[in-house]
Structure 1
Amino acid sequence: MDRRRRAVESAVPAAVMVLLLLSIAPAGAARRDWGFRSPSSSVGFTEPNTKPDVKNNGQTFVFNYTLAKAIVEYASAVYMTDLTALYAWTCSRCNDLTRGFEVTCIIVDVQNCLQAFVGVDHKLNAIIVAIRGTQENSIQNWIKDMIWKQVNLNYPNVPNAKVHTGFYSSYNNTLLRPAITNAVHKARKLHGARDIIVTGHSMGGAIASFCALDLAIRFGSNNVHLMTFGQPRVGNAAFASYFAKYVPNTIRMTHERDIVPHLPPYFFFLPQLTYRHFPREVWEHEVDGNRTFQVCDGSGEDPNCCRSVFVLFWSASDHLTYMGVKIEADDWSTCRIVLGRSAEQLQMNLASNIVTSGRSVDVVIAGNSVQVD
């Protein structure tokens, strides 16, 4: 594990980071350890002991520590490659606050190495959608590549809105979109019109953003909530405004010096032409030895939250743990979803196991991606 983390850290050499100095707003506030700026108007609080609650309060998804801890466990579990343990919810990450979760659909796009599941959390009275991003052979190359990505795709029917082509296509032009929407429709038909919580980590968080927007338009903004962990930016300011309008119940968790939320870069002197986060960020970091969850302002780019970390202190290792939960692939070497078997063999084996178990779980697996216009 230590060797893996050192390899990940090497993805961000200081020489490359110097090129990103212009993406940081001018200094002005005092700095804490690791280059943190002192919080000012943002609200900060240490770990509260509150009951899970998915109900929105007006236009704000109220941050709830216990709820967030449950959601990060779902975002971690979707990385598991043992699909049999995943559908039975017996995997090593399928416990603690998510115990008793009922998986209703597992979705695998083998060609694009994408994986997701849909299910019902009866304790939260909510439908959960968890998405895993593409598992790259080299996370170092992925991070370096993200530095230079441009907002290069016009978002349909939204003037001036541009988004990252790869993130947009990973949801809208693959198996994920039709499979997830069908699974959510079915779950709401069987279990009632429950709220929908969408989550993902890293690239999975970026893809989850487009999923949440799609579901909010289909099922209504008040019924869809998004909570991501360490997600990169996905679009420009016009898209961020559009997103905030339709998915107001959004929390973007960031952790300490995690590099990924800083990518692709935000250039403060080109606010309309560059990538921009949508609100609302909650920054997990230490203040005077206490783990603090700082609720940031509504701009999406609060300079007193994770953006206050100086560029040379950005860290890839902080990307792999959120709220004390390891949130990484259980095999980094390659895309191991099918474990050497064909998609057809995998689907047949899983179907047989599901029938034997007596559970009702849909398995949607495709060797080739499904193109959606």
Structure 2
Amino acid sequence: MRASLPLLAILSSLIAAGFASPVKRGISSDVYNDLVFYFQYASSAYDSTCAKPNGNTLVGQFSDSGTDTQGFVARDDSRKEIVVALRGSSDAVDFWTDAQVLLEDFTSPGTTPPAGTSAHTGFLNAWNSVAAQVISTVKSQLSSHSGYTIVTTGHSLGGALSSLAGITLKQNFPSSPIRMYTYGQPRTGNDNYAFWVNDQFGANAFRAVHTTDGVPTIIPTSVGYRHHGVEYWQNPDPPSASTTKECAADGEDPTCSASVPSQGIDLAHTIYFDILATTPFCS
């Protein structure tokens, strides 16, 4: 039986559409559980008195009064990890940092970025205000815990700082395995920055976005910014491995969270995996 030309045309268009926009399926339970686990560190960074982050050893805290940048370094001896967690926005100084959106040349201790790499002025200044403290603490921990993996994590502003911390620590400790986790991270740098992070981290960068969270797209690509990968879009609720999709590896996937117009800071930004950001996991 011969198919009519109209039918063939319809089938061809459906097949083409399928190849152009593949269906994104849920992630593994291991990846999902890790996204939740490292969010608990990011959430705990809002608590300046967190004695046992995620039940693990608090190595030390770091801060800068000028930029109001804060966080901690923890050590998980069961997972053999050194975790750097950076606090998100919590006061007027942080929101001023968020507002410094001009791009500036990327510089950070011990790094050699590709030519033309630039980052958000406020985020970069905030990270650089504590970078030396973090590098020194991580170096000390690696000297006594050889082979441990470095992990950076943060929510919102802390997510941007986690990205900057991740690439800086990757450059400073090239022989150490490293992963970064960010939650509700705004775009942090230009195309060259995103390409650099993608090249250095590949699948070891995890950028989670909750449903309609408007912060990841609040700084548009039209002003020279670009996201790095890999986005994990948890949509729709309720959160689970099956409702969390791995998006295009380059970071800018129009079928994931970028498909939702930004409404700025909304309820979705404040809750990830049914956990209110700022909830401490400290015992």
TM-score by length of 1: 0.62
Q: How many residues in Structure 1 have an aligned counterpart in Structure 2?
A: 253
Please list, as runs of the form range in 1=range in 2, the aligned pairs for 1:90-129 lying within 5 A after superposition. Answer: 94=53, 98-99=54-55, 101-129=56-84
Contact 2:239 2:274 (C-alpha < 8 Å) held by counterparts: no
- Quote the offset at 1:290 in angstroms: 6.9
Instruction: Select which of 206, 218, 222 maps to 1:251.
Output: 206
What is the CA–CA distance in structure 2 between the aligned matches of 1:295 and 1:131, rounded to whole Å?
24
Alignment partner of 1:106: what SS? Answer: strand
Contact 1:217 1:246 (C-alpha < 8 Å) held by counterparts: no
- Quote the offset at 1:320 in angstroms: 0.5
Q: In the alignment, what sits opposite 2:154?
A: 200
RMSD across aligned positions (CA): 2.6
- Quote the offset at 1:154 in angstroms: 1.8
Q: In the alignment, what sits opposite 1:299?
A: 250
Contact 1:197 1:226 (C-alpha < 8 Å) held by counterparts: yes
What is the CA–CA distance in structure 2 between the aligned matches of 1:214 and 1:119, rounded to whole Å?
18
- Quote the offset at 1:315 in angstroms: 5.4
What amino acid sits opposite 2:37 in the alignment? A
Q: Does 1:263 align with 2:221?
A: no
Q: In the alignment, what sits opposite 2:170?
A: 216
What amino acid sits opposite 2:45 in the alignment? V
What amino acid sits opposite 2:78 in the alignment? K
What amino acid sits opposite 1:216 in the alignment? K
- CA 1:222–1:43 in 2, change beyond 3 Å: closer, same or farther? farther
- Quote the offset at 1:103 in angstroms: 0.8
Contact 1:280 1:297 (C-alpha < 8 Å) held by counterparts: yes
What amino acid sits opposite 2:102 in the alignment? Q
- CA 1:111–1:226 in 2, change beyond 3 Å: closer, same or farther? same
Instruction: Select which of 164, 176, 189 maps to 2:143.
Output: 189
Runs of 4+ in 1 over 6 A off after TM superposition: 138-143
Q: In the alignment, what sits opposite 1:309?
A: 260
What is the CA–CA distance in structure 1 between the aligned matches of 2:40 and 2:92, rounded to whole Å?
24
Q: Does 1:320 align with 2:270?
A: yes
Alignment partner of 1:163: what SS? Answer: strand
What amino acid sits opposite 1:327 in the alignment? A
Q: In the alignment, what sits opposite 2:229?
A: 279
What is the CA–CA distance in structure 2 between the aligned matches of 1:165 and 1:44, rounded to whole Å?
36
- Quote the offset at 1:158 in angstroms: 2.7
What amino acid sits opposite 1:277 in the alignment? H
- CA 1:139–1:255 in 2, change beyond 3 Å: closer, same or farther? farther
Show CA shifts across 1:303-343 (max 9, x none). 010011134x665111111111111389xxxxxxxxxxxxx
What is the CA–CA distance in structure 2 between the aligned matches of 1:221 and 1:259, rounded to whole Å?
36
Q: Does 1:69 align with 2:25?
A: no
- CA 1:275–1:162 in 2, change beyond 3 Å: closer, same or farther? same
Please list, as runs of the form range in 1=range in 2, the aligned pairs for 1:40-59 lying within 5 A after superposition. Answer: 40-41=21-22, 43-45=24-26, 48-50=28-30
What is the CA–CA distance in structure 1 between the aligned matches of 2:264 and 2:246, rounded to whole Å?
20
Show CA shifts across 1:109-163 (max 9, x none). 22322211112112322111101134223988887x47xx332x12245322221
Show CA shifts across 1:177-204 (max 9, x none). 1111111111112222201010011111
Alignment partner of 2:252: what SS? Answer: coil
What amino acid sits opposite 2:199 in the alignment? K
What is the CA–CA distance in structure 1 between the aligned matches of 2:187 and 2:236, rounded to whole Å?
24
Instruction: Select which of 155, 167, 170 maps to 2:106.
Output: 155
Contact 1:230 1:255 (C-alpha < 8 Å) held by counterparts: yes
- Quote the offset at 1:43 in angstroms: 3.0
Alignment partner of 2:126: what SS? Answer: helix
Contact 2:42 2:153 (C-alpha < 8 Å) held by counterparts: yes
Where structure 2 has 5 or more consecutive residues not aligned to the other structure, the ranges are 1-19, 108-112
What amino acid sits opposite 2:46 in the alignment? Y
TM-score by length of 2: 0.81
What amino acid sits opposite 2:275 in the alignment? V
Bigger relative contact order (CA 8 A; separation at least 6):
1
- CA 1:140–1:213 in 2, change beyond 3 Å: closer, same or farther? closer
What is the CA–CA distance in structure 2 between the aligned matches of 1:217 and 1:138, rounded to whole Å?
29
What is the CA–CA distance in structure 1 between the aligned matches of 2:62 and 2:265, rounded to whole Å?
31
